[in-house]
Structure 1
Amino acid sequence: MDGVVQAWVTGWVVSRGAAPPEREPWGFTVDVGQLAQVSRHVFEALGADVDERLVRKVADGVTGAGVWLKVFQDPEVVRGWLGEGWWVDPEPGYLMTVPLAGAAGGDGHTPDGYRKRVWSAGGVTRVLLAAPDGSLAARGQTAPTGATAVFDQIETAPAHRRRGLGSVVMRTLQGAAAAAGARAGVLAGTPAGRALYESLGWHVQAPLTSAKFVGRGTG
């Protein structure tokens, strides 16, 4: 899928309400405006095409805590490129895509006792599955931006896992994105979510390393 990183960044800023991305020679800078994530530098290259020299250069120029790097390469590789003050998430993420043709069909059966609510605001469609007692069971959201849609913040509460709720959320979101005109979906998945996404036709495009600058002298 051409332009997959740009598609992910474009949809992610809509989903999270972040500032429009700024184009860089190596990728994108996004201002998020949160204490734990002030901004993020997202490299556009994937896998073996990631340039170690550029990652080192950008990382060495970071001086403020709360700045993140998103590099589409394995954490074990990227860790060796970063100097003092960087925390690297030991778990790899995965940049994943799926064609949405035909996704406007059924969204699966919501298990008995659960309540599903779907709503859209600000260009983002959200799905909530509430448990029989009213607590959060599962959720997710999608931000269609033309031909692509980003899927974001997909989660199932621990007490409600292995009941098919994640599949209901994803199928509902995929249908909504397809109905909005998106032809492909993109997301950044975790190891825990990868199996669910692959069961729904998603494919891994590249590993993803997330690294946060926590300050010199902090490890």
Structure 2
Amino acid sequence: MATESITGAFVDGVVRAWVDGWVVSRGAAPPVREPWGFTVDVGQSAHVSRHVLAAVGDGVEEQTVRKIADGVTATGVWLKVFQDPALVGRWLGDGWWVDPEPGWLMTVPLPAHGGHTGVPDGYRLRRWTRGGVTRLLVTTPDGSFAARGQLAPTGGTAVFDQIETAPGHQRRGLGSLVMRTLAETAAAEGAETGVLAGTPAGRALYESLGWTVTAPMTSAKFTGDGRASSD
């Protein structure tokens, strides 16, 4: 899949914006700048840290990816590369598990004034902000989980994260409700561009709301023996 034609400065800014927003959203350590990108300590047993390359698409160099991957010896270290997993997977050793499904780095221009977002009948929406992160929770009247999402503004950009709709509540407008409400919140706080790492399950929704693909994304984890593991 070809990436969109965008300037290198814009791409570097988007990658940095996503990293900065992601660490706020997940409560991870501040990113450490590397010659090739960023290292982030996450602090979870299955996700100790992650390396994120700043280059995207054709700018990703095989030699750089191999050098970073070969330097990893601890299990639980993740690697995020903004290139197709079918290609990146060939550059990694046997100790790496590569998610076969690609992700995508996506962006959207945020409106200065968002329109009203109505909650579908039979659902309730709660919103709260703590530690700079705004979270949305959609439930049924009895409190059962239906959908969620969160937002981490970082100045002119805002990272949308952990967007989820329960299987039994899909195709009822809840994903759009979450995304539009987060977009309104981000714009109200001064953000001009939304950024997210999308999955195959969410890409169609995001594109229907005006999001565009900046680059494909590979997610890989060092397990030491190549066994699959979830993020």
**Shift of residue 217, structure 1, vs aligned partner:** 7.1
Match of 1:35 in 2: 45
Quickly say closer, same or farther: Cα 1:217–1:41, change in 2 above 3 A: closer
Q: Is the 8 A contact 2:97 2:227 kept in 1?
A: no
Match of 2:183 in 1: 174
Gaps of 5+ in 1: none
Q: Is the 8 A contact 2:134 2:150 kept in 1?
A: yes
Equivalent position amino acid for 2:191 in 1: A
**Shift of residue 108, structure 1, vs aligned partner:** 2.3
Please give the TM-score of this superposition, normalised by the length of structure 1: 0.97
1:134 to 143, 147, 155: 143
**Shift of residue 134, structure 1, vs aligned partner:** 1.2
- Counting aligned pairs with the same residue, the percent is 73
Q: Extract structure 1 runs of 4+ deviating beyond 4 A.
A: 216-219
Aligned counterparts, 1:125-164, within 5 A: 125-164=134-173
**Shift of residue 140, structure 1, vs aligned partner:** 0.2
Counterpart CA distance in 2 for 1:156 and 1:132 is 16
Gaps of 5+ in 2: 1-9
Match of 2:216 in 1: 207
| 1:20 aligned counterpart, secondary structure | coil
Match of 1:53 in 2: 63
- 1:198 correspondence with 2:207: yes
Please give the TM-score of this superposition, normalised by the length of structure 2: 0.92
Counterpart CA distance in 1 for 2:15 and 2:101 is 20
Q: Is the 8 A contact 1:86 1:213 kept in 2?
A: yes
Match of 1:19 in 2: 29
Equivalent position amino acid for 2:65 in 1: V
Summarize deviations over 1:88-135 as a string: whole Å, max 9, x none: 000000000000023x32242211110000111100001110023311
Q: Is the 8 A contact 2:57 2:82 kept in 1?
A: yes
Between Structure 1 and Structure 2, how many residues are aligned? 218
Quickly say closer, same or farther: Cα 1:121–1:216, change in 2 above 3 A: same
- Deviates most, 31-40 or 124-133: 124-133
Counterpart CA distance in 1 for 2:18 and 2:116 is 23
Q: Is the 8 A contact 1:107 1:168 kept in 2?
A: no
